[in-house]
Amino acid sequence: MTEAVLSAPVVKPAPDRERLAAFGFIAPSMLIIALVFVLPLALLLGVSVLDAKGGINSANYTRLLGTPYYLGVIWNSLRLGLLTTLIAFLVSYPAAFALARARGPLRSTLLATLFLPLAASVIVKAFAWTILLRGDGLINTVLITLGIIEDPIRMIFTQTALITGAVNIFLPFMVLPIYAVVAQLDGRYAEAAATLGASPIVVFFRVILPLTLPGIIAGVALVFSLSVSAYVVPMLLIGEKYPTLATTIAKAYLLAREPGFGAAAGVVLLAIAVIVVALSTLLSREPK
């Protein structure tokens, strides 16, 4: 009896039943994704093509992409994202190596210094920068007390204040992905290249930089996406002098009561983020 059972062929479930069971497992997730992501995006796209009278046309996109003022707004957003990402990368790359090579209490202290700011909201950090940079703020007070300057320097509501605050706030999102890659970097590759006669510059550009590229791409995608869509940082550190897509969306919804135009600006902002993510995915793909 036992031999008969063991020798009996295993009955596999029908392919249709397997597909039905697999669909049953993923159906709840697909429903949640549809409700949380797809439906809001569909509504955003639908509202963006509605005019004030409820008609469907491309007037909102024509106004946004055909007006020099709003093209300047789009450029302001891109410029904020590009400058913030570039400066954050230049600061984060050596910082990630220093963090990876630190040991003991120093490493714990550096990691805590990096993670603690993430616990505070963006509003709190941006408001802290306004306290530091205003005319009677800490920086001007110290400089005047030391006799370095006689009158307060105008720092708040400038592009320098905006970029400085944005870099400081979004810096951890660049350091962490690079640090995660650098911490796993095998130093024997660099030693082997040096043994074969490569100079330190060649070792960096031909060995270390390519090996850390996945972390760089992830950090660039994160910081650019966050800074290009930032709302609180431009509003508190420079105000109306530097309109961006995010502040334009808020103004269209809250002040001008133009949801269609605000939705069109949101679609353009979303398109920029999608392009950045697609490029980062393409660059991070390993060659076959």
Domain ranges of the chain: 39-284
Contact 193, 207 (CB under 8 A): yes
pLDDT in tens, 106-140: 888 888 888 888 888 888 999 899 989 888 888 88
What's the pLDDT band for 4 if we cut at 50, 70, 90? low
Residue 287 has pLDDT above 60, yes or no: no
Residue position matching structure tokens 């603690």: 116
pLDDT given at position 114: 84
What's the pLDDT band for 67 if we cut at 50, 70, 90? very high
Residue position matching structure tokens 């003991």: 104
Residue 276 has pLDDT above 90, yes or no: no
Contact 77, 250 (CB under 8 A): no
Contact 167, 88 (CB under 8 A): yes
pLDDT given at position 173: 94
Q: Is 102 helix (H, G, I), strand (E, B) or coil?
A: coil
pLDDT given at position 85: 95
Question: Among the residues of the chain, which ranges form H helices?
Answer: 2-7, 15-33, 39-48, 59-66, 68-101, 104-119, 122-133, 138-145, 159-170, 172-182, 187-195, 200-203, 209-211, 213-228, 232-237, 245-254, 259-284
pLDDT given at position 118: 84
pLDDT in tens, 50-60: 877 778 888 99
Residue 12 has pLDDT above 80, yes or no: no
What's the pLDDT band for 215 if we cut at 50, 70, 90? very high
What's the pLDDT band for 172 if we cut at 50, 70, 90? very high
Question: Nearest Cα to 74, choosing from 235, 252, 243, 278?
Answer: 243
pLDDT in tens, 173-212: 999 999 999 999 888 888 888 888 888 899 999 889 999 9
275 alpha carbon, distance to own chain's centre: 13
The C-alpha atoms of residue 243 and residue 230 are separated, in whole angstroms, by 11
The stretch 34-38 carries a mean pLDDT of 87
What average pLDDT does the structure give for the chain?
87
Rg (Cα) of the chain, in Å, rounded? 26
pLDDT given at position 288: 58
The stretch 9-29 carries a mean pLDDT of 74
Residue 103 has pLDDT above 80, yes or no: yes
Q: What is the CATH number of domain 39-284?
A: 1.10.3720.10
The C-alpha atoms of residue 149 and residue 164 are separated, in whole angstroms, by 21
Residue 42 has pLDDT above 70, yes or no: yes
**Higher per-residue confidence, 281 vs 261:** 261
Query: CB-based contacts of 259: which residues, under 8 Å, 6+ apart?
Result: 47, 50, 252, 253
Query: CB-based contacts of 134: which residues, under 8 Å, 6+ apart?
Result: 140, 155, 156
Residues paired with 56 in a beta bridge: 50
Q: What is the 3-state secondary structure (H, E, C) of 165-225?
A: HHHHHHCHHHHHHHHHHHCCCCHHHHHHHHHCCCCHHHHHHHHHHHHCHHHHHHHHHHHHH
pLDDT given at position 56: 84
